[in-house]
Amino acid sequence: MRHYSRVIGTGGYLPTTICTNDDISQRVETSDSWIFERTGIKSRRIAGGDESAASMAEIAATQAMDAAEILADELDLIIVATGTPDRVYPSTACLLQQRLGAKNCVAFDIQAACSGSIFALSIADQYIKSGAAKKVLVVGSEVCSRLVDWTDRETCILFGDGAGAIVLEVAEQAGILSTHIHSDGGCEDLLYCPNPQAATAANKDELGFIKMRGNEVFKVAVNTLGRIVDETLAANEMDKSDIDWLVPHQANIRIIAATAKKLRMSMDQVVVTLENQGNTSSASILLAFNEAVRDGRIQRGQVVLLEAFGAGFTWGSALIRY
């Protein structure tokens, strides 16, 4: 018998502290209208001093497991997507495993920047399809605010913090219809974050803040996401009209709108959380998916396209029949 994976629970967590565009305008030369017109962002959440990727992941994961009606000991695998781990090692997934009291599973992190949750879902799907796991917890958790140079108006306006989670289990019919992941290290300098502690002599003076050449990233992202839409539809022998919902990575409203146009979808069929969350990197898709499930927009049986683009460059999609 063939194995498939399906979504049985979702969860999410956003810190309580809100940083508005007006707040940022007190730090750098910008304005609410300038930021909103270019990005679609009005505010973002900022993690408290006692919060971390692991602590936020715990809240989102617990919510997802409660929705799935499973206990931590039932998990076979925990995958955490994060670019802002609590420690270099052990992994944030291991820290989460300890917090949850999940004694019977494997736990590891993956790092694919803003595409992290798509990569994690793809890995989880392969584990279940192979028969190596029956129940998998996937989490995206980020404290991007700690990698932001708050004097750089090109990047400090974009990012926020949060965590999203999904529980997958083995099923007789496909819930995850397909996943598609790609990477290209040739554009590494267009979007990156240095690691000062691992620096070579050539870049020893770089600080550990996100650096981005926004215009170039935008152009590549729009073209690349257009191709991933075509690839996903072709692999599933589907038409654009077969997609009920688009849940995109929340990076920029213009990129989101371009992908919706590619699918000939109304923005009413697109889950957008960007305005009040900003770019939460690997957490953004899972946060958006959770929000739309919980408010009733996404219904059982509907087909949902998740897609993301991130530093690396990395990009990917997951097509889900929820």
Instruction: Tell me how far apart the alpha carbons of residues 176 and 114 are, in angstroms, rounded to a whole number.
Output: 20
109 in Cβ contact with 85 (< 8 Å): yes
- The candidate with the shortest Cα–Cα distance to 283, out of 59, 37, 106, is 59
Beta sheet of 4-13, edge-to-edge order: 4-13, 161-171, 135-143, 77-81, 106-110
- Catalytic: which of 94, 105, 249, 290? 249
Is 236 tagged catalytic? Answer: no
Q: Which domains does the chain have, with CATH numbers?
A: 4-173 (3.40.47.10), 177-321 (3.40.47.10)
281 in Cβ contact with 142 (< 8 Å): yes
Instruction: Tell me how far apart the alpha carbons of residues 128 and 172 are, in angstroms, rounded to a whole number.
Output: 11
10 Å Cβ neighbour count for 52? 21
Up-side HSE of residue 299: CA atoms within 13 Å toward CB? 3
42 in Cβ contact with 25 (< 8 Å): no
Instruction: Tell me how far apart the alpha carbons of residues 289 and 306 are, in angstroms, rounded to a whole number.
Output: 9
- Catalytic: which of 21, 252, 279, 290? 279
The reported pLDDT for the residue numbered 205 is: 67
Angle, helices 214-235/253-262, rounded to nearest 10 degrees: 30
Is 187 tagged catalytic? Answer: no
Is 114 tagged catalytic? Answer: yes
- Catalytic: which of 19, 94, 114, 156? 114
Parts of the chain with a pLDDT under 50: none
Q: Do β-strands 303-310 and 161-171 pair in parallel, antiparallel, or remain unpaired?
A: unpaired
The reported pLDDT for the residue numbered 201 is: 63
Instruction: Tell me how far apart the alpha carbons of residues 73 and 14 are, in angstroms, rounded to a whole number.
Output: 26
Segment 224-272, tens digit of pLDDT: 999 999 999 999 999 999 999 999 999 999 999 999 999 999 999 999 9
What secondary structure, in 3-state letters, does the chain show?
CCCEEEEEEEEEECCCEEEEHHHHHCCCCCCHHHHHHHHCCCEEEECCCCCCHHHHHHHHHHHHHHHHCCCHHHCCEEEEECCCCCCCCCCHHHHHHHHHCCCCCEEEEECCHHHHHHHHHHHHHHHHHHCCCCEEEEEEEEEHHHCCCCCCCCCCCCECEEEEEEEEEEECCCCEEEEEEEECHHHHHHEECCCHHHCCHHHCCCCCCCEECHHHHHHHHHHHHHHHHHHHHHHCCCCHHHCCEEEECCCCHHHHHHHHHHCCCCHHHECCCHHHHCECHHHHHHHHHHHHHHCCCCCCCCEEEEEEEECCCEEEEEEEEC
Q: Give residue for tokens 């999904």.
A: 166
